[in-house]
Structure 1
Amino acid sequence: MTAEPRARVRRRPVHGVLLLDKPVGLSAQAAVSRVKALLAAEKAGHTGTLDPLASGLLPVCLGAATKFAQVQLEADKAYEAVLRLGVRTSTGDAEGEVIATAPVEAERLTPARLAELARRFTGVIEQIPPMHSALKKDGKALYEYARAGVELERAPRRVTIHALELEPLPHDPAALRLRVRCSKGTYVRTLAEDLGAALGCGAHLSALRRTATGPFELAEAVTLEQLEQATMPQRLQWLRPPEALLHGWPQVTLEEGEAARFLSGLRRRGRWPDAEAVAVFGAKPRALLGSGRCQGGELIPVRLLAPTEIAQWLTQTHAS
């Protein structure tokens, strides 16, 4: 019997940011594809990958919002994780093969010792990126070399741990719960391995959940199941405006004539204080035009929305 062809989904312009609670077992790109299909959107991307074994907050950018995804790539992140003590793996997480084991002296994991260890790893620290990572060397990701059994020398990288908490898991003396707020580029797997080394027993990451990125919190996110069960108008109501990605930036508002000139890429003159990054809005109707920077009384365009994107966003907002 010949299978009937699938109905082709008609894509349309959809703009905004959806905060997704990504499940374990799904890659970030696969999760974005699911959201894109559920919203029948033409264009989608994310603001920082999550491994399939990790769950939690994944901001999905749609349409015009993809132009500002880089902002959240640079943002601080927060995670909750579980460290399995006494076991080291080839990848630093539960996906790898066990390469070493050691006894765990649970009676030495006192609150005082864990607090001291957290203090030791808080602030600017150096990490050696793991071989099982997407960092590139000669055009190839490090994990491609690792899968081929090749170990490359990696230079240490400086990252910032803003806050770190460690506590034993109830009824499991060989595990620790970790809560961390850190700068971009921090490898929580590497942090887990380094903490295990400092404890003298080794460790690997057995679970990871992202709880925040920039201004966004996991408590505000929706699941794929919620999206699937919602109507299209309900799905659109979960979208945040593209300017949500520019949270905390100084704002510049332009009247109609000036807004049109800015959108054509022209610099504008005004009494604006110098700023490396500003969010630029049109006054009537109130809508994001793009981003820029202010220097010497000039507003310099950096990233612009197309007039069609602005009109589509305003229509979408009124429709939902």
Structure 2
Amino acid sequence: MSLVELSGAPVVTDTEPTAQDTPRSARRGEARAPRVRIVRRALHGVLLLDKPIGLSSNDALQKAKWLLRAEKAGHTGTLDPLATGLLPLCFGAATKFSQVSLEADKGYRATLRLGQRTASADAETPVTEERPVTCTRADIERVCAAYTGPIDQMPPMHSALKHQGKALYEYARAGQTIERVARRVTLHTIDIVSWQDERLVIDVHCSKGTYIRTLADDIGQALGCGAHLSALRRICSGPLTLAGSTTLAALEAMSEEQRAALLLPVDVLLADWPTVSLRADEAARFLSGMRRLVSLPDAAHVRVYGPDERTFLGSAHIEAGELIADRLLSPPEVQAMAPA
């Protein structure tokens, strides 16, 4: 059986009448041409999408879901419309483990425009302040080093965080400022990729919830010239990278079989977790939610497989010699994704 279980169900389309074939009453609006109906199918896996600029993460998800005719899908972390890069899309059973990718560390390539500040700290709003750029590379290295490690970061007003049911950016667009609480995030590394005049490119490896445009503004302030984020590209999320990713344009040009073949196994979301393999009888009990005795040290996260070490069953943790299920695949899902 292949990784992706293709149902083989056709896309059902109704022939749309031409103006010549349509009764006069229908052309006046009394009747409408039949709409195209898409037959959805159960697909399980992860698609590494290289999101284009100008499109929201949800719009990109819905487009890919439509192209694949998938029944169930979700993404694993929002990218702003002005950002590009890695957007892992989860289909079917993979949605059960999307939280793992949401919680994972992220990697970004950020382009900063030194000497200019904006209200949103990115290129979405007009420049509000300009200052000359007089810093040296040593100054940039010192400031980047100062922001490496755990820091308290204030969420920007131009963000999707909610206050009394409304996104903060809605208040910001109305000229209102809402009191916010700083959040602890971790900047693991900040590497200078290139610097020329007002253009500074850095690679940032950080914990979830880090606002790169806030970091850009902070770096600019520390350098004394101000800055804003002019471009952002996500290059990794946990163990997933842009390698093997596809674009919506490429996806649209493919056949349905080629699109489905791009789906990676569900367990790629947990690729950096240790593994546990169970005998066939133990695997069946584990899938029913029963705890199993194992001679393994405690572990907060493990991925669990059947006896062939290829049949993914779900995630678990080990405590006091017991394997305790966290998220399980259903037997039909296991069968649909079983290796050939």
TM-score (norm 2): 0.86
Offset from partner CA, 1:21-76 (integer Å, 9 cap, x none): 00001100111111111111111111111000000011111110010011111111
Per the TM alignment, residue 266 of structure 1 is displaced from its structure 2 partner at its CA by: 1.4
Higher alpha-carbon Rg: 2
**Map of 1:55 onto structure 2:** 84
Aligned residue identity for 1:183:
S
Question: Do structure 1's residue 209 and structure 2's residue 233 form an aligned pair?
Answer: yes
Out of 270, 282, 288, the residue aligned to residue 312 of structure 2 is 288
Alpha-carbon distance in structure 1 between the residues aligned to 2:334 and 2:221: 52
**Map of 2:103 onto structure 1:** 74
Out of 156, 160, 164, the residue aligned to residue 138 of structure 1 is 164
Query: Runs of 5+ in structure 2 lacking a partner?
Result: 1-18, 20-26
Alpha-carbon distance in structure 2 between the residues aligned to 1:296 and 1:236: 41
Q: Percent identity?
A: 56
Any residues of structure 2 matched to 1:166-205 within 5 Å, and which? 166=192, 169-170=195-196, 173-205=197-229
Aligned residue identity for 1:220:
G
Per the TM alignment, residue 236 of structure 1 is displaced from its structure 2 partner at its CA by: 2.1
**Map of 1:102 onto structure 2:** 131
In structure 2, the CA distance between the partners of 1:67 and 1:89, relative to structure 1 (3 Å rule), is: same
**Map of 2:325 onto structure 1:** 301
The question of whether the paired residues in 2 share the 8 Å contact of 1:17 and 1:59 is answered with: yes
Per the TM alignment, residue 264 of structure 1 is displaced from its structure 2 partner at its CA by: 1.4
Alpha-carbon distance in structure 1 between the residues aligned to 2:328 and 2:193: 46
Question: Do structure 1's residue 260 and structure 2's residue 260 form an aligned pair?
Answer: no
3-state DSSP of counterpart to 2:58: helix
Alpha-carbon distance in structure 1 between the residues aligned to 2:173 and 2:120: 10
Alpha-carbon distance in structure 1 between the residues aligned to 2:307 and 2:251: 33
**Map of 2:68 onto structure 1:** 39
**Map of 2:5 onto structure 1:** none
Alpha-carbon distance in structure 1 between the residues aligned to 2:110 and 2:308: 46
Aligned residue identity for 1:113:
D
**Map of 2:94 onto structure 1:** 65
Alpha-carbon distance in structure 1 between the residues aligned to 2:227 and 2:235: 22
In structure 2, the CA distance between the partners of 1:29 and 1:204, relative to structure 1 (3 Å rule), is: same
- Give the number of equivalent residue pairs: 311
Alpha-carbon distance in structure 1 between the residues aligned to 2:52 and 2:269: 23
TM-score (norm 1): 0.92
Alpha-carbon distance in structure 1 between the residues aligned to 2:305 and 2:216: 43
Question: Do structure 1's residue 124 and structure 2's residue 153 form an aligned pair?
Answer: no
Alpha-carbon distance in structure 2 between the residues aligned to 1:284 and 1:94: 51
Alpha-carbon distance in structure 1 between the residues aligned to 2:207 and 2:335: 36
Question: Do structure 1's residue 27 and structure 2's residue 56 form an aligned pair?
Answer: yes
**Map of 1:155 onto structure 2:** 181
Per the TM alignment, residue 217 of structure 1 is displaced from its structure 2 partner at its CA by: 1.4
Q: Cα RMSD over matched residues?
A: 1.8
3-state DSSP of counterpart to 1:32: helix
The question of whether the paired residues in 2 share the 8 Å contact of 1:111 and 1:167 is answered with: no
**Map of 1:310 onto structure 2:** 334
Aligned residue identity for 2:51:
K
Alpha-carbon distance in structure 2 between the residues aligned to 1:68 and 1:250: 15
Per the TM alignment, residue 312 of structure 1 is displaced from its structure 2 partner at its CA by: 1.9
